[in-house]
A and B are shown apart, each in its own frame.
Chain A
Amino acid sequence: MSKQLEIKNLSVTVETTEILKDLSLTLPRGEVHAIMGPNGTGKSTLAKALAGHPDYEITSGEVLLDGENILEMEVDERARAGLFMAFQYPSEIPGVSIANFLRAAKQARLAEGEDLDATGFYKTLYEKMDMLHIDRKFTSRAINEGFSGGEKKRNEILQMAMLEPKYAIMDETDSGLDIDALRIVSEGVNKLRGPECGILLITHYQRILEYIVPDHVHVMWNGRIVKSGGKDLAIELENKGYDWIKEEFAEPAAKA
C-alpha cells in the first residue's frame, strides 16, 4: 500500500461555479508540500473539498488516502482515517472546553467499548501544550471563543499534535499572525514533521516557508497546479510576484 495522499483529476464546484479544474497532486507521507498562489485561485477550496465540506461539490476525480478513496466518506470518517485540516477560520464553540473537545475527538477514534485513559490523555495534552507555549489554563477555555488570531492558530496546531494525523492540510495558517506567533506555530509544525505525517501547506506568502522549509512547492492558478518545483520556487515567486504566472498560464482564449 502506498503511503501517500493522492489527488487525481479533481474538479470541484461551488454554487454552480467550477473552482478546481482537473487538479492532480501527490503528497507522500514524511514530506511537506507547499501550495502557493494568488488570492481566489482555489487554494482554500482544495482544503475544504478534501476535508469534505458540504458546500463543495466534487464533480469528478478521486482522492486516495493510502490507496483508499476518501470521497465516499463523511467528513468525520475522513478525519478518523487520518486527514486533518487546520482551518483558516476556526469555529468558535461556546461552552465546550478545549479539554472536553479533544477528549471527545480522541474517544471517537477508539474502538466501541474502549475508554480513553484520562490520565494519559492529560499527560500528553500538557506535553503538547508546553511544546506549543500554550498556557495550561487554556484547557478549560471554550474552543476558540474570544481567542486572538494567534491563539486560534496555535489551538489548531495543538489539535493536530493531539490527533496525530497521517496527512495535515494547513489552510493559510500563517494569515493574521505576527512574527512571534508565526515562529511559535512554525516550530510546532516542524516538531510534528516526520516520516509518519505528510503536510500540505497552503499559503499566499513565502514568509512561513522560511520557517517551515518545504520539500516541494506547487503554484496554483485558476483551479490547477501550473508549476511545481523545489523550495527555490517559493523564493522566485516572492521576488517576481504572481503576475508572470498569470500571464504564462492565462486562459488559452485570452492568450490568443
Chain B
Amino acid sequence: MKTANGLADQEIFDAHLASQSASGAPEWWLDLKRESWRRFRKLPMPMRKDENWRFASLGGVKLDGYELGDSSPPEIADKEVLKRSENVRQRAGRLVFSNDRLMDSEAISEEWAKKGVIWLPLEQAVREHEDLLRKHFMAQPIKLGSEKFSELHGALCSAGSFLYVPKGVEVDLPLVAFHWTDRNNAALFPHTLLIADDMAKVTLVDFFSAHDRSSRNFICGVNDLYAGPGARVTYISAQDWGRDSLAFHLNSTQAFKDAFITSLNVNVGGRQARNESHSQVLGEGAHTQMQSLTVATGKQEFDQRTLQTHFKGRSVSDLLYKNALLDDARTIFSGLIKVEEDAQQTDAYQTNRNLLLSPTAESNSLPGLEILANDVKCSHGATSGQIDDEQLHYMRARGIPEPVAKQLLVFGFFEDILGKLENEEIAENLRTLIRSQF
C-alpha cells in the first residue's frame, strides 16, 4: 500500500485511471476523467474573498494526506458491513460500498426490471448505458463554489449508484445505497445519478457513514437528480462521516414541467461538511422542495450553500433548512433564490432556522434573493434563537423536568420535516440518527 501526499498528485490520478482501465471501463469514460483532471489542476483552491466561501473556515480545506479509498481492501468483513446495511428492510434494491469498493449489489426485483427500471453500480452502468451516462453524468453547472472539488470528483469517482426509471413507471419501494468507510485517510467519491422519465415515480436513499466515529476521511460526493415532465422524485441522504473528516456533497436537481422533487439531507457527521444544492426549475408547474436537518456538535462546521433558479414561471420552490447547534459548533447557511426574467408567477420560499443550544455555538445566515420578474411570490426568513422560554415554562408547569422538556422541544424542532415523510421506516432511521447526537 502506497501513501500519497495529496489528492492533487498526478500519480494518484494515473493509478486510478490504470485501475479503471483494467476493470474494463470504456475509453470515452476515461477521456471524461482526463478532462476533469485537467480542469481540476487548473482551477484554484477557494480563497477568502470568494463570496461563495464567506464565513467558511478555509484552513482545513486541504487535499493533503489522503489516499484513494479503493486502493486496498476493506478491513471489516463483508458480512458485518452487510449486516449494518439492513436498516431499510422494505426496499426495491440495494447497493453497498465500502471505501468506494462495491460490496454487494442487490438487483432490482424482476417486477421493475421487466418494466425497464435500471438499478446498477455506476461502473457497470458506464459499460452498459453509455447514452444515458453521456447525457446526464456531471452535466449540470456547479455554481456554488466547489467547481474544483466537482472536477476532482469527476476525475476520481468510480463508486456509486445509477437509477433510471422509464416513462410512466412508478417504483413504490425505495432504492437504497450505503457508502461506508473503515479506513483512516481514505478519500471517497460516492456518486448518485437518478433519472426519472416522464410521469415516473421513485425514491432513493443514500446512507453515508464511517464505522469508526473518529475517522479522518476526505469525501467528495455528487448526486444529480433529473425529474422529467410530471415525474415525482424523492431523494433522502443521511450523512454520518467520521468526526475528523472533510466532506463535500454537491447536489443538483432538474425539475421539468409539472415535476415534483423533494430532497432531504440529514447531516450529523464530519469535522467540516459542506453541502451545495442547486435546484433548477426548468418547466412550468414544476415544484421542488429542498430540506435539510443538521445537528452540529463539538467543533463541527456545517456549510450549506443553496441556489433555487427559476427559469420558467408558474412554478414553486420551497426550501427549509433547520440546524440545531451545540457546544462550539458553527453553521453557515447561504441561500439564493434567483427568478430569471419572464419567469412570472413563480412562488419561491426559503427559510433557515437555527436553534442555538449553547452560548458558544455560532450560526451564520445569508439568505439571498435575486428577482428579475415582478409577478412573483418570494420570501425568505432566517431566525436564530434559543428554546422558547414560554414553551419550556409551559411544559415544566405540567410537571415535565427541564432536561426532558428541552429534549422534547429539540426533537420537536425536526419533526415538522420528519413527521411528514411518507416512509415511516426511513423516518425512524433518521430520528435515531439525530437523537443519537444528544
Q: Do any CB atoms of chain A lie under 8 A from CB atoms of chain B in the complex? A: no
**Interface, chain B (partner A; CB < 8 A):** none
